[in-house]
Structure 1
Amino acid sequence: MALLRSIRSVVVGVRNYGVSAVQKAPPKILITGGLGQLGVECAKYLRAKYGRENVILSDIIKPSTEIFNDGPYIFADILDFKGLQKIVVDHRVDWLIHFSALLSAIGEQNVPLAVRVNIEGMHNVIELAKQYSLRIFVPSTIGAFGPDSPRNPTPNITVQRPRTIYGVSKVHAELLGEYYHHKFGLDFRCLRFPGVISSDPPGGGTTDYAIAIFHEVLRKGHYQCYLKPDTRLPMMHVRDALRALSEFLEAPSEILTRRVYNVTAMSFTPEELSDRMVKHLPEFKITYRPDSRQEIADSWPQVFDDSEAQRDWSWKPRVDLDTLVELMIREVKEKILANGYHCVH
């Protein structure tokens, strides 16, 4: 009898160990639209945390040799549902990070394509996540608000009537994700990002002047801004954006009071940004010639209220405006020189 009890305790111990081991195993993560603004940096960040082989980067674009060698990379078309199913099954995916989207300014130039990529693509990935019980992260944006929204500050829950197809598609994604969570128990998570600033070349967003200005000034010594000097918009450095994404994905589901949160780090105008840059680059010149992107910017939040993210999962930015300027000057200069171009500063 004592022997039987001993055997039983060993079996239970093995079972418990097995459960613990499964729980502690790192997630297998698939990133769609991986060659856009955030994807490559996100993959590097998460590979450092969860292991190189556990983060799969995907897109429909041929990657550079550096990106291909950096970790798993596969072809994935978000409009091909069966192809996505095969990837999830073959690679035993647990988390899906869905970056595929046409940004604001680009989307306005090709609305039918934006509808296909941003809306049909979202339908595919959310149904996929439901079918295979994936944790799914979809970024949203300050562009999900419109001219009827309060702009300073813009709270988490308020009127959303965007006037770009990009913004419309993101509101659609937010509501669809919340619906799937409440209807089917899907672990949907979404952060509304402000303008995300990194050393990569601008990708067609309205806030991308804050990236383009560093590239143009360091290469040519001057920059012509497509927004007015006093256009205030929320921003954050890519380091903070990736840390917010990672911390949010790891947060226990039971502490989240919402499925969609605002996050931000700072708000500034082109004039305020250039004033900080002059301290490091006294020779540079900036001129202003507003174009159609000004109308988009005028309908967006000026100051983002992310107090709910701070309260629920302890979000806190680390990179302020002065640090952002120092980081960008150093990182963009390194990138320009690495690509064989000359810096005037």
Structure 2
Amino acid sequence: MILVTGALGQIGTELVLALQEKYGNDKIIASDLKEPENYHCKFEKCDIRDIETYERINNENKIEIVYHLAAILSAAGEKNPELCHDVNYNGLENVLKTAKKYNQKLFCPSSIAVFGPDVPKEMTPQNVELNPKTVYGITKVKGEELCDTYFKEHGIDVRGIRYPGLISWKHKPSGGTTDYAVEMYFDAVESGKYECFVNRNTRLPMMFMDDAIRATLELMDAPLDSLNYHSNYNLSSMSFSAEELEKEISAHVDFNCLYKPDYRQDIADTWPISINDDDARKDWGWEPKFDISKMTEEMITNLRRLNE
């Protein structure tokens, strides 16, 4: 049986569907803080900070693989640093302790937020000193270290990706610094205008969700002995500025974007412009399928359909 924590979030929403397609509906259990109505698979309400409930769910359902997506994201984390640490680190530790107890295989994602302003901005390499300046980034660095400890000391097969900004038409996210890219698409189709919270020249690594889900499944399927890293693979697809995205969208929709940077600009300024993911390509054959043009066609087509 497979458990997905944070199943109602941006990644979890689509990962659950992909796992159901791959393994069958009856093999997947979703969990999150609030139980939704009319959900499409078995659901267990759970706060990962509550280890007793989390352990019970794992024991009763004989969970063998966990995709641990429950987290507080970057912008939300800066507003509530104590909660960010509690969920992203203490919650992760509960997941790892349970994995040790039941000998589970784990996917525990990280983020480009682990990189501080002192790393090379262009093609940030896999191995650099990690000195993030955000609470979210710090929790992700600690999380990578904790996962590596459980791999080395307890033999837990834990794997993870440093996700870039993720873009999807199926779920409008909240609480992340790269969310402007998703919001720009949604608002362009719905109203033809958007107020962007980063400046027009802000360039960040991004990825279409279809690629991110595929990368996640490919990493989990890779032979363990082929992996030179575990919880912290760099992953790359494309990088573009907010203005470049605006122009790409404007080729499909009558669209006006106003730039009004807020506190999230300071977060974005500490992150890389592009990522070197040679190790992921070499170790488990990663290769993206979407660029900004192909992604924009998919986003606009599907959002128009949803708004009909």
TM-score by length of 1: 0.87
Partner of 1:274: 246
CA distances 1:295-325 after superposition (whole Å, capped 9, x unpaired): 1111001001111000000000001110110
Partner of 2:204: 233
Contact 1:221 1:284 in 2 (8 A): yes
Contact 2:121 2:274 in 1 (8 A): yes
State how far apart, in whole Å, the 2-side matches of 1:249 and 1:334 are.
33
Counterpart mapping for 1:3-18 below 5 A: none
Number of aligned residue pairs: 306
Contact 2:35 2:43 in 1 (8 A): no
Aligned with 1:116 (options 86, 109, 112): 86
Are 2:262 and 1:262 aligned? no
Partner of 1:242: 213
Aligned with 1:103 (options 65, 70, 73): 73
The alpha-carbon deviation at position 84 of structure 1 amounts to 1.4
The alpha-carbon deviation at position 202 of structure 1 amounts to 2.5
State how far apart, in whole Å, the 2-side matches of 1:155 and 1:224 are.
33
- Which runs of no fewer than 5 residues in structure 2 stay unpaired? none
CA distances 1:218-266 after superposition (whole Å, capped 9, x unpaired): 1221111111111110000110000000000111101101112011210
State how far apart, in whole Å, the 2-side matches of 1:103 and 1:333 are.
28
Are 2:149 and 1:193 aligned? no
The alpha-carbon deviation at position 333 of structure 1 amounts to 2.5
Contact 1:227 1:270 in 2 (8 A): yes
Are 2:299 and 1:328 aligned? yes
Q: Secondary structure at the match of 2:272?
A: coil
Contact 2:246 2:257 in 1 (8 A): yes
Partner of 2:27: 54
State how far apart, in whole Å, the 2-side matches of 1:335 and 1:176 are.
41
State how far apart, in whole Å, the 1-side matches of 2:220 and 2:201 are.
35
TM-score by length of 2: 0.97
State how far apart, in whole Å, the 2-side matches of 1:88 and 1:204 are.
28
State how far apart, in whole Å, the 1-side matches of 2:302 and 2:72 are.
25
Aligned with 1:78 (options 39, 48, 52): 48
Aligned with 2:58 (options 88, 112, 131): 88
RMSD across aligned C-alpha pairs, in angstroms? 1.0
CA distances 1:35-75 after superposition (whole Å, capped 9, x unpaired): 1111121000011001111111101112131xx1x111111
Contact 1:196 1:237 in 2 (8 A): yes
Structure label with greater radius of gyration: 1
Partner of 2:279: 308
The alpha-carbon deviation at position 212 of structure 1 amounts to 0.4
Are 2:102 and 1:132 aligned? yes
Query: Aligned letter for 2:121?
Result: R
The answer to which structure, 1 or 2, has the higher relative contact order (CA under 8 A, 6+ apart) is 2
Partner of 1:342: none
The alpha-carbon deviation at position 117 of structure 1 amounts to 1.0
The alpha-carbon deviation at position 144 of structure 1 amounts to 1.0
Partner of 1:43: 16
Query: Aligned letter for 1:316?
Result: E
After superposing the two structures, state which structure 1 stretch, 81-90 or 317-326, moved more.
Answer: 81-90
- Which runs of no fewer than 5 residues in structure 1 stay unpaired? 1-27, 338-345
Partner of 1:9: none
Partner of 2:130: 160
State how far apart, in whole Å, the 2-side matches of 1:334 and 1:272 are.
24
The alpha-carbon deviation at position 336 of structure 1 amounts to 3.6
Q: Secondary structure at the match of 1:300?
A: coil
Query: Aligned letter for 1:34?
Result: A
Among all aligned residue pairs of Structure 1 and Structure 2, give the percentage whose two residues are the same amino acid. Answer: 40
